[in-house]
Amino acid sequence: MNLPNSLTIARIFFVPILVAVLVQEGMILDFHGIHIHNDVVGLIIFWLAAATDLLDGYLARRWKQVTTIGTLLDPIADKLLVSAALIALVQMRIVPGWLVVLLIGREFVVSGLRAIAAAEGYTIAASELGKTKTLSQVVAISLLMIGIRHAWVLKWANASLYLVVFFSVWSAVAYFGKFWRKVDVRIKHRRRMELLNAERQRRRALFAEKREAMLARRRAKTPGAGIVSAE
């Protein structure tokens, strides 16, 4: 496994750690007399995980190590990280639940499109619009975490969150507009070929049955057919 793919997998392992830290309200780390609250630790973990997103793509392109598994895992890791952070913020009553349901629902829909496309031989890589959406999510979530202890930041955090909704819907429409017709045509063509093959097999089986029946009738009309001489 190359380094870019390892960074992508590391981002997935950051997810449960991030959730565990954020939901522990009031947790404080004492570092040489400096008290660090759980939201600060969560923000640092989130930034580290987001940094791996930038680094794995850069290294994969620079070292020419772009792989199919990396292309598929990268958006999954992004979605897990962002979804986990948003759900934790809902638990902390920082983000409205309906908005998170909308954003995560969008991720499920696009992931479903990717899965269908992969089954048909297409690999849907993250577009520039999708990357912009991911960047806006990182900014919005960071501001929301900062706003836990600095209320004046929440105004900008909420504005950036609605910007995330805009980019999420826009990118989803773009993905479906670009790939759905290709995938739909491929699926219809495959099913048509399957039906044609099934019809050919049915006709062959029917022809074989008719041939066997005709041979049976001929044997029945032939005197002594099927009688073996005892001599």
CB 104 within 8 A of CB 83: yes
Distance (Å, whole) CA 94 – CA 85: 11
Question: For residue 229, what pLDDT is reported?
Answer: 47
Q: Which residue has the higher pLDDT, 5 or 220?
A: 5
Q: Which residue has the higher pLDDT, 65 or 41?
A: 41
What is the mean predicted confidence (pLDDT) over 21-40? 77
pLDDT tens digits, 210-221: 888 888 777 777
Which residues, other chains included, contact 13 with Cβ-Cβ below 8 Å and sequence gap of 6+? Answer: none
Question: For residue 113, what pLDDT is reported?
Answer: 79
What percentage of the chain exceeds 70 in pLDDT? 85
pLDDT tens digits, 159-172: 999 999 998 888 88
Q: Which residue has the higher pLDDT, 148 or 27?
A: 148
What is the mean predicted confidence (pLDDT) over 94-103? 91
Question: For residue 189, what pLDDT is reported?
Answer: 67
CB 27 within 8 A of CB 38: yes
Whether the full predicted model's pTM is greater than 0.75, yes or no, is: no
CATH class of 3-179: mainly alpha
CB 45 within 8 A of CB 17: yes
Does residue 231 have a pLDDT over 70?
no
Burial string for 80-96 (b: 16+ CB within 10 Å, else e) reads bbbbbbbbbbbebebbe
What is the mean predicted confidence (pLDDT) over 99-126? 79
Mean pLDDT, all residues of the chain: 82
Q: Which residue has the higher pLDDT, 222 or 199?
A: 199
Question: Any idea which of 48-52, 185-189, 193-197 has the lowest mean pLDDT?
Answer: 185-189
Does residue 19 have a pLDDT over 60?
yes
Q: Where are the domains of the chain?
A: 3-179
Question: For residue 143, what pLDDT is reported?
Answer: 94
pLDDT band at 228 (very low <50, low <70, confident <90, very high): very low
What's the number of CA atoms in the CB half-sphere (13 Å) around residue 186? Answer: 12
Question: For residue 223, what pLDDT is reported?
Answer: 61
